[in-house]
Amino acid sequence: MPGEICKRSVQRSLKPIINKEQPRTAVAGGSPEPLYAALINDIRRRIEIGELQPGDKLPATLKMAAQYGVCHKTVQLAMKALAREGLLIRRKYFGTFVASGDVGSAKKPAEPHVALLMKYIKERTASDIFDTDIVDGVMEAAAAYGCRVDVNLYSRLDTLAMDRSLTGFLLVRPGREEALQIKRLGLPTVLLDIAHARLGLGFARSDNARGIRTALQHLIRQGHRKILYLHSDCSNPYNFSGIERYKTFMAAADEYKLPMENSSLLFADFSGLPEGSEYTALLTDGVMSTRHTLNILLRQGIRCPQDISFIGFDDVDPVDFQALPLTVIRQRLDEVGRAGLKLLLDQDRDWRRAKILVSPELIIRGSTASHQSLSSSR
- Residue-level pLDDT at 348: 67
Is residue 1 one of the residues assigned to a domain?
Answer: no
| Range name among 159-163, 225-229, 344-348 with the lowest pLDDT average | 159-163
Q: Are 249 and 373 in the same domain?
A: yes
Which one has a higher pLDDT value, 155 or 280? 280
Residue 366 CB coordination number (10 Å)? 12
Q: Are 185 and 297 in the same domain?
A: no
Q: What is the pLDDT of residues 91-137, one digit of tens each?
A: 766 788 888 754 444 455 567 889 999 887 554 433 344 578 899 99
Q: Are 215 and 197 in the same domain?
A: no
Average pLDDT over residues 265-292: 92
- Residue-level pLDDT at 18: 33
Q: Are 308 and 341 in the same domain?
A: no
Whether the pLDDT of residue 241 is over 80: the answer is: yes
45 residue type, one letter: R
Whether the pLDDT of residue 165 is over 60: the answer is: yes
Distance CA 55, CA 92 (A): 15
> Pairing mode, if any, of strands 327-330 and 281-284?
unpaired
Average pLDDT over residues 165-192: 91
Q: What is the pLDDT of residues 300-353, one digit of tens each?
A: 999 999 999 999 998 866 545 556 789 999 999 999 999 999 999 886 678 888
Distance CA 315, CA 262 (A): 26
From the list 272, 276, 326, the residue with the least C-alpha distance to 302 is 272
Domain final residue, candidates 105, 129, 157? 105
Average pLDDT over the chain, rounded to an integer: 82
> What phi, psi does 95 have (nearest 5°)?
125, -165
- Residue-level pLDDT at 342: 94
Average pLDDT over residues 159-181: 85
Q: Which residues, including other chains, have CB under 8 Å from residue 60's CB and lie 6 or more apart? A: 95, 347, 348
Is residue 349 one of the residues assigned to a domain?
Answer: yes
Which one has a higher pLDDT value, 347 or 367? 367
Domain final residue, candidates 83, 105, 127? 105
How many structural domains compose the chain? 3
The burial class, CB within 10 Å (0-12 / 13-18 / 19+), for 360 is buried
Q: Are 127 and 86 in the same domain?
A: no
Three-point CA angle 205, 234, 364, nearest 5°: 55
DSSP string across 166-221? EEEEEEES--HHHHHHHHTT-S-EEEES---TTS--EEEEE-HHHHHHHHHHHHHH
Distance CA 81, CA 86 (A): 9
- Which structural domain, as residue segments, surrounds residue 94? 7-105
Q: In what order do the strands lie in the sheet with 264-266?
A: 264-266, 227-231, 281-284, 309-313, 327-330, 361-363
Whether the pLDDT of residue 8 is over 90: the answer is: no
Percent of the chain with pLDDT over 90: 45
> Which residue pairs from 18-27 have beta carbons closer than 8 angstroms and sit at least 24 positions apart in sequence?
18/68, 18/69
| Range name among 27-31, 100-104, 359-363 with the lowest pLDDT average | 27-31
- Residue-level pLDDT at 163: 67
Q: Are 68 and 217 in the same domain?
A: no
Domain final residue, candidates 54, 77, 105? 105
Q: Are 327 and 338 in the same domain?
A: no
Q: What is the CATH number of the domain that holds 96?
A: 1.10.10.10
Is residue 2 one of the residues assigned to a domain?
Answer: no
